[in-house]
Amino acid sequence: MMATSPIPGDVPVSLNEARGWLRLGPSIDDAVVAQLLRAATGICEAYIGQWLIVRTAEETLPLRSGAARPTARPVIAVETATLLTREEGETILGAADYRLMREPGGAVQLVVAAPGDADRVRIVYRAGLADGVNAVPEAIRQGIVRMTQHLYDARDGTGATPPAVIAALWQPWRMLSLGGAR
């Protein structure tokens, strides 16, 4: 299951910045550009395997040997962890009942001290690379602007392949795991 967030992530590039890069006059195609900025931000997050700006996530994950791996990266903090059983029983864990182990590549593992007969855990946590839009690395922001330009230019179906410079700008932040798991 992928992590869900009750609110979408913020876009680290302003509408004015994108409009300036696209050389558009004031308020020309604002709705289109705003939608493309959101799409470009989502593409960036999918490519690098990390949420850009910290936001809250909630996931229900299987417990395997008392451990679960949240999918959003990078995990900043766990707000709540609740053990779930097949009989619909719930046990809210205290901070001393679990630990968060950081793994290479930015992943984390939530390890429950005594899972009992629980087969799943519901985790509410915060994840993201930067505390706010101004803390997102400039290379990532530039890649989002360039992806927005690519999407804007390709609206008529031409130019389907994004420029390689976008991947080059995002590559230093890309997190991959063996086996394709993120």
pLDDT, one tens digit per residue, over 7-64 is 667 899 999 999 989 988 777 789 999 999 999 999 999 999 999 999 999 999 999 9
In this prediction, residue 178 carries a pLDDT of 53
| Cβ pair 15, 33 in contact under 8 A | yes
52 close to 41: Cβ distance less than 8 angstroms: yes
Distance between CA 177 and CA 182 in Å, rounded?
6
C-alpha to C-alpha distance for 64 and 57, rounded to whole angstroms: 20
The model carries a pTM of 0.84
The CA distance from 140 to 134, in Å, is: 11
Residue 180 has pLDDT above 80, yes or no: no
Better pLDDT: 107 or 63: 63
Among residues 100, 101, 98, which one has the least CA distance to residue 118? 98
Give 180 or 33, the one with higher predicted confidence: 33
Residue 182: the pLDDT is 44
Mean pLDDT of 61-80: 93
Mean pLDDT within 89-104: 91
What pLDDT, on the 0 to 100 scale, is given for residue 181?
Answer: 47
Identify the band that residue 100 occupies on the pLDDT scale cut at 50, 70 and 90: very high
pLDDT at 108 over 70: yes
Mean pLDDT, the chain, integer: 89
pLDDT above 70: percentage of residues in the chain: 91
Query: In this model, does residue 1 exceed pLDDT 60?
Result: no
